[in-house]
Amino acid sequence: MNSHNTSHSCRILIVEDEKVTALDLKLTLEDLGYEVVACVSSGEAAIAAATEQNVDLILMDIHLDTAMLGTEAAKIIMQKTGIPVLFLSAYSDDQTLDDASDSLPYGYMVKPFEKREVDAAIRIALARYSADLELRRSEERLRLALEAARMSIWEWTPDNDEDIRLNVSHTPPQLISESLDDLLVNIHPDDRDKIHKQIGSHQRHQQPVRFRKHEGNDYRWVELFASLFRWENGDRRVIGVLHDVHERYLADEQLRQANAVFNSTSEGILITDAQRRVLNVNPAFSQITGYTQADVQGKNPDEFLHARRHSDQFYPRLINDAQGYWSGEIACQRKNGEFFQAWEHVCTVLSDDGQLQNFVITFSDISELRRVEKNLATLAYMDALTGVGNRVRLEQVVSDALADGIEAPGSVGILYLDLDGFKLINDTLGHSEGDLLLRVMADRFKQTVRDEDTVVRIGGDEFVIVITNAEQEDDLKVVAEKLLQAVQQPVSLSREKVEVSASIGIVLSRPSVQEYEELLKAADTALFEAKRQGKNRYCIYDFALAMEFNERLRIERSLKQAIRNDELALEFQPLIDLQTSRVYGVEALCRWYHNELGMIPPDRFIPIAEQSDVIVDIGSWVLRESCRVLRGWMDSGLPELKVSVNVSARQLTDSRFAALVSRVLTEFNIAPEQLELEITETALQANEQILRQLEHIHKSGVGLAIDDFGTGYSSLSRLKELTFDRVKIDRSFVRDLPHSSNDIEICRAVMALCQVLSLQVTAEGVENHEQLDMLRELGCHCIQGYLFSRPLRPELLADWIRQTDIAAVLR
């Protein structure tokens, strides 16, 4: 344990529904010297623990086991206990940040994070909470001091306008009973109207007045405090104090200075006269600046404190300002010449007749806070794994460069780089080795480009290099060649040496492409083309790609209206059981009939939809429409079928997806066993949350199938971790059967594996009897393809099922 951590005595409550994450965080905190009082997984448990246990700080995840979000729990905890909350979340979208801000947290960290980040965030949160607590204590001390003042108390019970009597207790005690009018005779004529109008009509009243005990005596200044109370029966009573403050009033200037200076405050305070000459300072001022009161007595603060003087118009504007104060950050200087940043508050003190008497200047040293903020800002723009910039940094650099390019010549070059084969290394050697490879590559990229260029990692194995002041595409080609050579150099990992390549998409800003999002999408389009051409190369965004890019943009914009405009439709392709010679199910396939573009094939619009949230809406529509059609078939007397629906990885990351499946099944009275969800191998690589959600769905009775098996990089352990029901062999392995010996062996191996794991096998893309016979020989259970039927609209498929002799086709 580091020695600087042993001084921590903070008791921390962890609220995290991921047990492994909670345990890792607990061990990290204990290693830092903090005490973890408990680890809970729901907002309700967090509220109970915060109420029952002695907790100094709560580390709160936002999305938890139960319906209650961490932001809701944080609000309740702050209201009940005031315990500070620091959010730890994997989400940073605008809605989540807005919800988190509403609960007034003491910090927000985005997962994943480093050990030092956690320590820094906790320290800052505790420092801020300590400062808030000290401020509340200071306010309480002031309240108690006011209550401790010895003042005469009076009480007035108004009966009616004709007979109002006032009891006043003086020092020495004496009781005077007289009508209010008689009492007002002893108040100075200029003050009577104010008292008569306000007393008894305001909830609280405070007013200095001139008062004399008897006619002929001199008027003395007294201060009248009053509070109006109303009883349930409608009676009113005024209770307050009447205090002789004549001597205090005569010494008003000295008393105002005394009240303005709090010797216990941590802020530096100076009091000057109207000419800004220092009259008094507090101990904190000397502690912060090193100046004693004798050093600064009679001097203007601009002469010794401010590193840069206030402008000549500053104080005249402040005097004429209705509020009479100013706050802001300013550079200050200590006695030893050291500069520091301070937050300064300057206010005017006026006499009762509105004349300027004093300036009160308070300030606090915020240099340490600014250093911490700078470090946090650096972290906000930095990828925690590799040390290069992150997506936020990318947007900032590109946007600034584009803005500068408006005034000065020069274009912005974007090189979008993706490591070829990284997923294979990550899966076979482990994530730690994959992370090491990413760090090595990030260092190589930084060494390859100029210092003024920017390297960022936007996620996974994808990097973007921003070249500023690029003049032509040939310059970017040179950089791309250097990057490809740097990537190809062998990398020595912890256990073995590996070699990888890269694909690069290049775009140069021009009048037609001048927005951040457009540049990034254009570079991504060029990257996709580089991968399509065989990888380990670069591709420049040109006119042909621009046409494709514009089409993608048009499709993306139109997709958002497709459901609303009723442009989507479903077609169904039958799934044939070879053992029973019957249709046991159908696969739902989405079709898009655009009003202007015509029929857009799924392989064209689905990948575009996958890159935005619109895939979630399309997927929900397909699921509901499939169940609606199935219900119609069942009601029409069609034999019982199973409907198979494709689900994207983005749908599975939505925590509400399982509830959606259950709700749709209930709505159309469909048994869970009649629904099957098809998931691609790529989706299984997304995260553990997807696997947990699939496990929950499968337990409800819904079937699961792996689609396009053999085309991804998924580990075979996924088949063991999740209870799948069926594996679909991709059509690319069926197309050349029975003439390709490689495809035969691949299909044979898949079927042998599935037999061991008790999984059903479906072969896609069966178009002739030669393929059918070979698949039968290999032991395939089910087939799907044009040999039987193309995808059909619901009404046509129902007729096909009724009229087709499956056994005859199989012969």
List pLDDT tens digits, range 562-615: 888 889 999 999 999 999 999 999 999 999 998 887 888 888 888 888 877 788
Residue 2 is predicted with a pLDDT of 40
The three-state secondary structure class of 626 is: helix
Q: How high is the pLDDT of residue 241?
A: 64
Residue 553 included in any domain: no
In this structure, the chain runs to a length of: 811
Count CB atoms within 10 A of the CB of residue 278: 24
Q: How far is CA 286 from CA 266, 268, 293, 363, in A?
A: 11, 8, 7, 12
Are residues 266 and 228 part of one domain?
no
| Distant-in-sequence, close-in-space partners of 218: CB < 8 Å, separation ≥ 6 | 212
- Look at residues 100, 119, 145 and tell me which one is the last residue of a structural domain: 145
pTM above 0.75, yes or no: no
Supply the range of the domain harboring residue 110. Answer: 3-145
Residue 410, token pair as written in the block: 């020069």
Same domain, 141 and 157: no
- Same domain for 519 and 537, yes or no, is yes
Task: Please indicate, yes or no, whether residues 716 and 567 belong to a single structural domain of this protein.
Answer: yes
In angstroms, the CA 549 to CA 517 distance is 12
User: Which residue, of 250, 267, 290, is where some domain finishes?
Assistant: 250
Confidence label for 65 from pLDDT (cuts 50, 70 and 90): confident
For residue 242, the model assigns a pLDDT of 63
Q: Is 557 inside any structural domain?
A: no
Residue 548 lies in a domain: no
- pLDDT-above-70 percentage for the chain: 84
Q: What's the rounded mean pLDDT across residues 336-343?
A: 91
What is the predicted pLDDT for the residue at 145? 47
Kindly tell me if the per-residue pLDDT of 699 is higher than 80.
Answer: yes
CA distances from 609 to 119, 553, 562, 601, 692 (A): 40, 11, 11, 13, 24
Residue pair 500/491 in contact (Cβ under 8 Å)? The answer is yes
> Tell me, what CATH number does 106's domain have?
3.40.50.2300
Cα 154 to its chain centre, rounded Å, is 57
Structural tokens at position 169? 């207790």
Same domain, 81 and 194: no
Pairing of strands 675-680, 703-709: parallel
Is the pLDDT reported for residue 786 higher than 80?
yes
DSSP letter at 218?
A: P
Closest CA to 75 of 53, 101, 55: 101
Q: Can you give the pLDDT at residue 144?
A: 53
- Tell me: do 531 and 577 sit in the same domain: no
Do the beta carbons of residue 576 and residue 775 sit within 8 Å? no
Percent of the chain with pLDDT over 90: 37
Q: List pLDDT tens digits, range 482-511.
A: 999 999 999 998 888 888 999 999 999 877
Q: In terms of C-beta density within 10 A (0-12 exposed, 13-18 middle, 19 or more buried), how is residue 395 classed?
A: middle
- The residues pairing with 224 across neighbouring beta strands, listed in sequence order, are 207, 242
Band of the pLDDT at 353, cuts 50, 70, 90? confident
pLDDT (0 to 100) of residue 166: 41
Report how far residue 158's alpha carbon sits from residue 180's, in angstroms, rounded to the nearest whole number: 10
727 within a domain of the structure (yes/no): yes
pLDDT value at 147 more than 90 = no
Q: Are residues 505 and 389 in the same domain?
A: yes
Our CA angle for 397, 400, 406, nearest 5°, is 140
pLDDT in tens, 87-96: 998 888 888 8
pLDDT tens-digit profile of 187-201? 788 887 777 666 655
For the cut 60, the answer to whether the pLDDT of residue 5 exceeds it is no
pLDDT of residue 545: 76
pLDDT band per the 50, 70, 90 thresholds, residue 244: confident
Q: Count of domains in the chain?
A: 5
Report if residue 603 sits inside a domain.
yes
Residue 378 lies in a domain: no
Instruction: Tell which of 103, 119, 145 closes a domain.
Output: 145
The pLDDT value recorded for residue 754 is 87
Q: Chain centroid to CA 506: how far? A: 31
d(Cα 460, Cα 386) in Å, to the nearest integer? 11
Alpha-carbon gap, residue 573 to 420, rounded angstroms: 35
> If you average pLDDT over residues 795-808, what whole number do you get?
91
DSSP string, 262-316: -TT-SSEEEEEETT--EEEE-HHHHHHH---HHHHTT--HHHHTBSSPPPTTHHH
Regarding whether 794 and 668 lie in a shared domain, the answer is yes
Q: What pLDDT, on the 0 to 100 scale, is given for residue 789? A: 92
Pair (659, 673) in one structural domain:
yes
Q: Which amino acid is at 574?
A: P
Ramachandran angles phi, psi of 723, nearest 5°: -85, 85
Q: Is the dihedral of CA 6, 12, 15, 17 positive or negative?
A: positive
421 and 349 both lie in a single domain: no
Residue 166 in contact with residue 183, Cβ under 8 Å? yes
Residue type, 441: M
Compute the average pLDDT of residues 295-317: 86
Same domain, 121 and 219: no
Cβ-proximal residues to 263 (8 Å cutoff; 6+ apart), any chain: 282, 283
Do 119 and 256 share a domain, yes or no? no
Question: Could you report the per-residue pLDDT of 509-539, keeping only the tens digit for each?
Answer: 877 667 888 889 889 989 988 987 888 999 9
Question: Rounded mean pLDDT of the chain?
Answer: 83
At 701, is the pLDDT very low, low, confident or very high (cuts 50, 70, 90)?
very high
Residue 654 DSSP code: S
With respect to residue 413, please indicate whether it lies within any of the assigned structural domains: yes
Is residue 776 a contact partner of residue 566, using CB atoms and an 8 Å limit? no
**CATH number of the CATH domain containing 298:** 3.30.450.20
Residue 468 within any structural domain of the chain: yes
Amino acid type, 192: R
Residues with Cβ < 8 Å from 634, sequence gap 6 or more?
640
Comparing 684 with 292, the larger pLDDT belongs to 292
